[in-house]
Amino acid sequence: MDKVLKFKSVTKVYGEKIALSDFSIEIPKGKIIGLIGPNGAGKSTFMRLAATLIKANKGSLEVLGIEPSAKTKALVSYLPDKPFLYEWMTVDQAIDYFKEFFQDFDENKMNSLLDFMKIDKKSKVKELSKGMLERLNLSLTLSRNAKLYLLDEPLAAVDPTTRDKIINSIIENFNEESTIIISTHLVREVETLFDEVIFIDKGKLIFYEDAEKLRIRKGKPIEDIYKEMFD
Ligand code: ADP
């Protein structure tokens, strides 16, 4: 399998609202990819489709070489943009929850990420600050040994220290057998992380390109290209 994700003319609507429109893309393995676009562009919809949480209305998808199913859902490690842990849980219990649900959960990896993120296992989820909770959520997601990671806005509203820790942990945990797709509307903070970037707006693919080639072609950082397009 050389492509981890294939979208063929995918359309997703919510009632009257077209969230993704005739969207086609093929994503190879071994890359860190930025999914970039303003609020409402369709980034979360793309992520949820790839994570097999919702179904397309039109078109077809392949995730890790197979049609979306319970199997693909179990193979993809997805970090939602909304809270997903119960507030009453301790960090320890959140780890147990992941261990039970995901066979690919690697506890050793989790322990070293907790160390790096400076998270105490005895803390309660409801007592964590927004930044600490994002660190915990990302640690859980990256502790799975998945072929495809989908991180939906892991950097929204976090402090600069957390942001740097998140970026470093993504880089350190990346291996060339997997692919990481990260959605963001904060380009400056993360653009050096990306091998490739997908620009998306109004549910449509604007372009998909190698990050370095794009910078050279346009003669400027991706942040400036983004600002010119969307500000
Ligand atoms: P992004 O993640 O880029 O902010 P989304 O994929 O969340 O964009 O949303 C794309 C469009 O679909 C937006 O106009 C949004 O309002 C709409 N949308 C997303 N989810 C729903 C939903 N559950 N019900 C109705 N409209 C939705």
Q: Which domains does the chain have, with CATH numbers?
A: 3-230 (3.40.50.300)
Ligand 1: nearest atom to the Cα of 15: 25
| Cα 118 to middle of ligand 1, angstroms | 34
Q: How far apart are CA 179 and CA 152, in angstroms?
A: 14
Whether the CB of 198 sits within 6 Å of ligand 1: no
Q: How far apart are CA 137 and CA 5, in angstroms?
A: 23
What angle is formed at CA 139 by the lines to CA 222 and CA 110, rounded to 5 degrees?
A: 140
Model confidence, pTM: 0.95
Q: How far apart are CA 146 and CA 141, in angstroms?
A: 9
Q: What is the pLDDT of residue 65?
A: 95
Which parts of the chain register pLDDT below 70?
Answer: none
Whether the CB of 45 sits within 6 Å of ligand 1: yes
Neighbours of 17 (CB within 10 A): 10
Q: What is the pLDDT of residue 150?
A: 97
Q: Whose CA is nearest to atom 23 of ligand 1?
A: 14
Q: Are 165 and 135 a contacting pair, CB within 8 Å?
A: yes
Tell me the C-alpha to C-alpha distance, in Å, between residue 101 and each of 110, 129, 196, 223.
Answer: 15, 25, 31, 38
| Cα 99 to middle of ligand 1, angstroms | 31
Q: What is the pLDDT of residue 199?
A: 97
Q: Whose CA is nearest to atom 17 of ligand 1?
A: 19
Q: What is the pLDDT of residue 230?
A: 87
Q: Are 97 and 89 a contacting pair, CB within 8 Å?
A: yes
Residue among 45, 82, 183 to mutate when testing ligand 1 (max atoms within 8 A of CB)? 45
Whether the CB of 184 sits within 6 Å of ligand 1: no
